Chains A and B, each alone.
Chain A
Amino acid sequence: MQRRAEKSTPSKSAAAGSKGPAAKTPVAAVKPPKVAAGDELEELQPAVLGKASDEDLMKRTQQGDKIAFSVLYERYSSSVLSYLYRMLGNLEDVESIGQEVFLRAFRFAPTYRYPQKFSTWLFTITRNLAINSSRRRKRSPVRNITELNLEGVDLSGDPYQVATRATDNVEKQEEIARVLKALEGLPTDQKEVIVLGVFQDLSYAQMEEITGTKAVTLRSRMFHGLKKLASMIGGPPREGRGGASSHRAEEVAPDADPAVDKEV
Chain B
Amino acid sequence: MPDTLNLESDEFMTLLTDALRAGPASPEWRQAVKALRDTNQSMDEYTLLYTAREHLESGKDYRSVRAGPGFTRKVMAGVDDQSSGGTGVPTAGLIALLAAGAILVVVVIVGVMLLKGGGTSNPQQQAITELNATLFGNKVLTAAFNPPILPPEGWMTFGGLPLTVKVNELRSAAKAPTTNGSVATTSSMGGGYRAGGIVSTASLAAEQPIEIDVALRTAKLVEDGILQIFVSDEPIDEAHTSGSHALVWQLKGTEGRVFLADATAAPVAQRVPNWQKEYPIKLLLNRDAAVVQAGGKQLYAGGHKLSSDRPRYVGVRFLARPGERGDAVGVTSVTILKP
What residues make up the interface of A, taking CB atoms closer than 8 Å to B?
20-22, 25-26, 29-31, 34, 64, 66, 69-70, 73, 77-78, 81-82, 85-86, 89, 91, 94-95, 98-99, 102-103, 106-108, 110-111, 147-155, 157, 159, 162-163, 165-167, 172, 175-177, 179-180, 183, 194, 197-199, 203-204, 216, 219-220, 222-224, 226-227, 229-234
Contacts and interface: CB of A to CB of B under 8 A. Distances in A.
B74 A99 contact: yes
A183 B53 CA distance: 11
A69 to B, nearest CB: 6
Interface in B70-85: 70-72, 74-76, 78-80, 82-83
B71 A223 contact: no
Interface in B41-80: 48-49, 51-53, 55-72, 74-76, 78-80
B7 interface: yes
Given A110-B93, A230-B49, A78 B66 contact: yes
B66 A20 contact: yes
A30 to B, nearest CB: 6
B1 interface: yes
B64 A154 contact: yes
A175 B55 contact: yes
A150 B5 CA distance: 40
23 contacts: A22-B72, A26-B69, A26-B72, A30-B76, A77-B75, A81-B67, A82-B64, A85-B63, A99-B75, A108-B90, A148-B68, A153-B64, A154-B62, A172-B58, A175-B55, A198-B60, A199-B56, A204-B18, A220-B17, A223-B13, A224-B5, A226-B52, A226-B53
Contacts of A148: 68
A204 B14 CA distance: 11
The 3 closest A-B pairs by CB, nearest first: A149-B70, A152-B65, A149-B71
B119 interface: no
Contacts of B68: 148-151
A150 B67 contact: yes
Contacts of B8: 216
Contacts of A107: 82, 86, 90
B64 A78 contact: yes
A34 B80 CA distance: 11
Given A30-B76, A176-B55, A162 B61 contact: yes
B5 A223 contact: yes
Interface centre among B59, B76, B78, B92 (most CB of A within 10 A): B59
Contact of B76 (A29, A157, A166, A222): A29
Given A198-B53, A219-B5, A226-B49, 11 more contacts: A34-B83, A73-B72, A77-B66, A77-B75, A81-B67, A98-B67, A110-B93, A149-B67, A163-B59, A179-B59, A180-B55
A180 B63 CA distance: 10
Given A66-B80, A95-B71, A103-B78, A82 B63 contact: yes
B79 A180 contact: no
Interface centre among A22, A180, A223 (most CB of B within 10 A): A223
A250 B21 CA distance: 25
B23 interface: yes
Given A175-B51, A219-B13, A223-B13, A78 B21 contact: no
Contacts of B69: 26, 149
Nearest to B48: A230
Contacts of B51: 175, 230, 233
A94 B48 contact: no
B79 A226 contact: no
A222 B88 contact: no
